[in-house]
Amino acid sequence: MRSGDFKESYGQLVVLARNPVGWVYAAGAVLALSLLPVFAGGYVINLATMAGIAAIGVLGLNLLCGVAGQLSLGHAGFLALGGYAQAILVTDYGVPGWIALPLSGAIAAAASLVVGIPSLRLRGLYLALTTLAFAYIVRHLILISEDITRGSSGMPVPSLAVAGLRLDQQAHFYLLVLALLVAFTLCTLNLMRSKVGRAWKAIRDHDIAASAMGISLTRYKLLAFMVSAFYAGVAGALMALHIRYVNVDNFSLLLSVEALAMIIVGGLGRTHGAIMGAVFLSLLHEVIRIAFGYGGSALQALLTDRIYEIKEILYGVVILLFLRLEPEGLAGIWRKTKRFWVKWPLSQ
Amino acid sequence: MEYFVNLVASGLVAGSVYAMIAMGFAMIYRATGMLNFAQGELMMLVAYIAFGLASTFGANLPVLLAGVFVAAILLGLLIERVFIRPMMGEPMFSRVMVTIALAVVIRGVTILIWGQEPYAMPRLLGTELIRIGPVSFYPAQVWTLVMVAVLCVVTWVFFNRTRFGVVMRATANSESTALLMGVNVRLVSAVAWAVSACFAAAAGLAFAFMFSVEPDMSSMGLRAFPAAILGGLDSVLGGALGGLVIGVVENLAGGYLGRGLKEIAGFLLIVVVLMVRPYGLFGQRHIERV
């Protein structure tokens, strides 16, 4: 008689879903989400699109910070590069939008080497500061090089057209984001169970020990930076396509903090956590907006006036609360809840 | 030549603000091994408190200084007790994230209270220009330079000549060994935060008197990072020197190479410096064991 759930071969250890039911659930969730435009209005679609884009970026950041253990405060820089690459490639060079989208990711990935190469010698806080410096430099370079980026006035982004089908309708764009999110999630899950993912985890846990085990630090750290920046670049391009306009203020340093808040809320190093965190924080400011709406006109005026500050305080408080009360994040809560039901009545 | 001297002089003045912030970074890094990302925001909050004292209560200079430093020490102790101490023993990522979260909260709350508009500090330090050679200084600028010099001397004496300074160095070196030798590690951490808040207060006062009290001040914390790194994160006096160097470099880059480069010159400089010396100019290299 089996007395538990044992893994008996290596293949069982790395499966994506332990049984077909998992696949059914996942397929059901994706199907339900793709039917969202049928039921929901423009407002909900808009919100879902933003959450999806955030989730793509956060998946990438999670690979770098949560899985490979390299703290980055500069992801706003990669997002900005992706967004501007999309805008400039399509407007000035006539590249079709759907080719520009992966190209923006690739450009961000190439730029990540600028941060990645110092990271080989730096660790911990010194690295965090270099990434911060990178975001700062990107921001100022965009402002200075006015003949390429239009400086502080920003530039419009032409909408995407795929095979003659214009994706400027909200619902269509939402479906594109959803498809990309599914693709990126599968890609992340596969990376995590492969040699690369295990190498990243080893580097996170102890890089000297990892290199003693024969893991090339140079190769895997740079790879982590490039993959993460690719995700962020694509997310940035999608952001630009969604807002239809790029401007450095869309990619402020607060965005890096927001992204970090998302992975902390979700649970560091967890793929489903990253998505949950992105969705949670994207919905949180809607909740605040609605809560302020009930608070009367004075509160509402305060909200429109000080939206940026209120968001800042919100992210800060959320990060503080999660770090203190639930360091494992939403992924941890999910795990505990699941355990509670599975083990009931023996659970406590 | 005169242009050059003027650029260097104003660079030194701007750099002295970086220097004071960087000393605050290094103080906390030395005692607790973590980086306080909220240093710039702390400086901003203290500057707003100073503005409140000076404008609402019409405090004169000695009262203002006393009030500001008392407020800073209380703030430092409060932050350490409420946010930092419970995180002791947690991974570095979480501890640093706490200070980042604190930074955004402090900035948000300060702007919610005082608004976006810049305020002019009452000119308590006088307005007559002081000429030294080819350069003229405002009194506030001279005071700032003097303050940095005084802080450097005090810091040196503190770390090298007082019992508590030695205790602090011991704690920075190895927390558990210090604990076993009977050092009150909690007290060390509290004092480090209080002193660091005082550095932030000095920087905030200097900035407020030289320019104005404005929300943009918090970005000074960000721009002082190159200074802290250049000197080495664990060297307080190195941070001071780094600040002055970064201030001069930024000003020279802005003066000779173009306005836009002023903001990023410091960051570009440290990316290069870190490639050559990963622990800054005066930072200690840690030998790691597996």
B135-137 and A165-166 strand pairing: unpaired
Other beta carbons within 10 angstroms of residue A53's beta carbon come to 27
Q: Are B228 and B28 in contact (CB under 8 A)?
A: no
Determine contact, residues B167/B39, Cβ cutoff 8 Å. no
pLDDT of residue A250: 77
B229/A121 touch (CB, cutoff 8 Å), yes or no: no
- Interface contact flag, A121 B275, Cβ < 8 Å: yes
| β-strand partners of B136 | B131
Q: How many CA atoms lie within 13 A of B201 on its CB side?
A: 22
> Amino acid identity of B266?
G
User: pLDDT, tens digit, for every residue of A32-80?
Assistant: 888 887 787 778 888 888 899 999 999 999 988 888 888 888 888 899 9
Q: CB contacts < 8 Å between A and B, how many?
A: 119
**Does B289 have pLDDT greater than 70?**
no
- Token pair of A23, please? 């696949």
For B163, phi and psi rounded to 5 degrees? -65, -45
- A254: chain B residues, CB-CB within 8 Å: 104
From residue B120, alpha-carbon distances to B208, B211, B214 in Å are 8, 8, 9
CB contact under 8 A, A133 and B267: yes
Nearest CA to CA, how far is B133 from chain A (Å)?
Answer: 35
Q: What is the structure's pLDDT at A123? A: 66
The residues, ordered by sequence, that sit 6+ positions from A150 with a Cβ below 8 Å of its Cβ are: none
In sequence order, what E strands does chain A have? 155-156, 161-162, 165-166, 245-246
In single-letter form, the type of residue at position A329 comes to G
**Residue B75 confidence class, pLDDT cut points 50, 70, 90:** very high
CB contact under 8 A, A323 and B87: yes
Q: Does the structure show a pLDDT above 80 at A147?
A: no
More confident residue, A116 or A225: A225
- Say how far apart CA A265 and CA A287 lie, in whole Å: 16
Chain B interface residues (partner A, CB cutoff 8 A): 29, 34-35, 83, 86-87, 90, 92-94, 96-98, 100-105, 107-109, 111-112, 222, 225-226, 229, 233, 260-261, 263-264, 267-268, 270-271, 274-275, 278-279, 288, 290
Residue-wise pLDDT for A222-242, tens only, equals 898 899 999 999 999 988 888
Check if the beta carbon of residue A59 is closer than 8 Å to that of residue A266.
no
Question: Does the pLDDT of residue A162 top 80, yes or no?
Answer: no
Tokens for A282, please give them: 């994207």
Per the CB < 8 A criterion, the answer to whether B42 and B102 are in contact is: no
- Mean local confidence (pLDDT), B223-227: 85
| CA distance to partner chain A, nearest, from residue B201 (Å) | 22
Give the tokens for residue B221: 């914390």
Dist. CA A137–CA A308, nearest whole Å: 22
Q: What is the pLDDT of residue A234?
A: 92
Per-residue confidence (pLDDT) for residue A228, from 0 to 100: 92
Mean pLDDT throughout B183-191? 86
- Closest residue to B271, CB basis, from A133, A268, A316: A133
Mean pLDDT of chain B: 84
User: Percentages helix, strand, coil for chain A, rounded to the nearest 5?
Assistant: 80, 0, 20
- The Cα A161–Cα B176 span in angstroms is 62
Average pLDDT over residues B245-253: 87
Distance CA A44, CA A56 (A): 18
CB A69 within 8 A of CB A130: no
Structure tokens at B30: 């030395």
Contact A320 B98 (CB under 8 A): yes
Cα angle: A91, vertex A96, A97; to 5 degrees: 80
Mean pLDDT across B202-214: 86
CA-based nearest distance B229→chain A, Å: 8
Taking contacts as CB-CB distances below 8 angstroms, the residues of chain A near B87 are 323-324
Residue the block writes with tokens 């290094």: B26
CA distance B217 to A258: 21
Rounded to an integer, the average pLDDT of B26-55 is 86
Q: Say whether A118 and B275 touch across the interface (CB within 8 A).
A: yes
What is the rounded CA–CA span in Å between residue A212 and residue A206? Answer: 10
Which pLDDT value is given to residue A229? 92
Q: Average pLDDT in the B281-289 region?
A: 66
Average pLDDT for B31-52: 87
What is the pLDDT averaged over residues A198-225? 86
pLDDT at B113: 86
Q: Does the pLDDT value for residue B290 go beyond 60?
A: no
CA–CA separation, B132 vs B61, rounded Å? 25
Question: What does the block give as tokens for A172?
Answer: 């269509």
- Place A214 in a pLDDT band, splitting at 50, 70 and 90: confident
CA dist., res. A282 & res. A50, Å (int)? 7
Burial degree of B114 (CB within 10 A; 0-12, 13-18, 19+):
middle
Cα gap B230→B235, rounded to integer Å: 10
* Residue % of chain B over a pLDDT of 90: 9
In order of A239, A304, B42, B52, B98, the CA distances from B110 in angstroms are 30, 17, 10, 12, 18
Contacts of A320 in chain B (CB under 8 A): 83, 98, 101-102, 105
pLDDT value of residue B286: 64
Query: CA-CA distance, A75 to B163, in Å (whole number)?
Result: 44
Give the global pTM.
0.85
pLDDT band at A167 (very low <50, low <70, confident <90, very high): low
Confidence of residue A10 (pLDDT cuts 50, 70, 90): confident
Query: Tokens 């500001």 appear where?
Result: B68
A212 closest CB neighbour out of B34, B94, B290: B290
CB-count burial class (<10 Å; 0-12, 13-18, 19+) for B104: buried
In a mutagenesis test of the B interface, which of A205, A319, A326 is the best target, namely the one with the most B β-carbons within 10 Å?
Answer: A319
Interface test with B, best of A323, A325, A328 (most B CBs within 10 A): A323
Q: Nearest-CA neighbor of B6 among B265, B238, B208, B254?
A: B254
Q: Which of A150, A152, A172, A174 is nearest to A163 (CA)?
A: A172
Among A209-223, B93-107, B116-130, B208-222, where is mean pLDDT lowest?
A: B116-130
A289-328 per-position pLDDT tens digit: 787 777 767 777 776 777 778 878 888 888 888 888 888 8
A254 against B188, higher pLDDT: B188
User: Beta partners for B132?
Assistant: B135
Band the pLDDT of B288: cuts 50, 70, 90: low
Is A269 within 8 Å of A283 (Cβ atoms)?
Answer: no
In 3D space, the residue among B94, B28, B32 whose CA is nearest the CA of residue A69 turns out to be B94
Put simply, the answer to whether A71 touches B101 (Cβ < 8 Å) is no
Q: How far apart are CA B269 and CA B284, in angstroms?
A: 20
Check residue A163 and give its pLDDT: 59
| Mean pLDDT of the region A129-141 | 83
Rounded percentage of chain B residues whose pLDDT exceeds 70: 97
Q: Let me know: does A245 contact A237? Beta carbons within 8 Å.
A: no
Does position A348 have pLDDT exceeding 70, yes or no? no
Taking the C-alpha atoms of residue A72 and residue A128, their distance in angstroms, rounded to an integer, is: 5
Distance CA A294, CA A306 (A): 17
Closest-CA residue of chain A to B37 = A129
For the purposes of burial, counting CB atoms within 10 Å of the CB of B256, is it exposed (0-12), middle (13-18) or buried (19 or more)? exposed
Burial class (CB in 10 A: 0-12, 13-18, 19+), A265: buried
